[in-house]
Homo-oligomer: A and B are copies of this chain.
Amino acid sequence: MTTLHIVDDDEAIRDALGWLFQSRNVPVVGWPSAEAFLESWRPDTAGCLLLDIRMEGMSGLELFDRLLAKGCRMPVIFLTGHGDVPIAVGALKKGARDFVEKPFNDNELVDRVIDALAVDAEQREREAGQAGLAARLSTLTQRERQVMELVVAGRLNKVIADELGISMRTVEVHRSHVFEKMRVKTAVELTRLLSGAS
């Protein structure tokens, strides 16, 4: 299980939440400010975020915006004492996973955090696959990429040769290079790979 990051400027709350989650075997890291978390955040930081809205300095909402701008896709659960509908609606529409008002129900919050952690893990797994795919794609030459696109579009080699103004033999060579570099054996597998199907 990955880590829950708690961002709250109230040490008492961080401690209380820390106790709660550690008693449920959820690894926790606490952060005393949005700035502290933002500075330490890296694209490979895993887990989920439990974010207080009203804090000294940067608010939880602003931290969320900045993380989104940096490409962070971690699930975020907002925790707030002063409920406000437009704020909650805005946060959820921007992609926050949840918005919980204090006082909250311990069990419910734990469940939501565990869900969020699972979502993050799954997401990271998918992205890892995509990264490997992108790496393999980047080894293709321009010509190979062109041929690949036409192959995946369902064109026959002779048609591809025609469209690119080259001989069938050359298409075959590029095609086999593409298969080799993408580590597939057939056009169908390649198509599935690029369509994101398993």
Contacts and interface: CB of A to CB of B under 8 A. Distances in A.
A187 to B, nearest CB: 5
Contact of A154 (B92, B186, B195): B186
A50 B124 CA distance: 37
A133 B91 CA distance: 37
Contacts of A119: none
Interface residues on A, range: 20 to 34
Interface in A79-132: 83-86, 88-89, 92-93, 98-101
A88 B93 CA distance: 11
Given A83-B85, A89-B92, A195 B188 contact: no
Interface in A132-170: 151-154, 156
Contacts of A35: none
B98 A85 contact: no
A188 B154 CA distance: 5
A185 interface: yes
Given A85-B83, A86-B101, A152 B92 contact: no
Given A153-B188, A191-B192, 20 more contacts: A83-B86, A84-B85, A85-B101, A86-B101, A88-B88, A89-B92, A89-B98, A89-B100, A92-B92, A92-B93, A152-B192, A154-B184, A154-B185, A154-B186, A154-B189, A156-B186, A187-B187, A188-B188, A191-B195, A195-B196
24 contacts: A83-B85, A83-B86, A84-B85, A85-B85, A85-B101, A88-B89, A89-B98, A89-B99, A92-B93, A93-B98, A151-B188, A152-B188, A152-B192, A153-B188, A154-B184, A154-B185, A156-B186, A187-B188, A188-B188, A191-B191, A191-B192, A191-B197, A195-B195, A195-B196
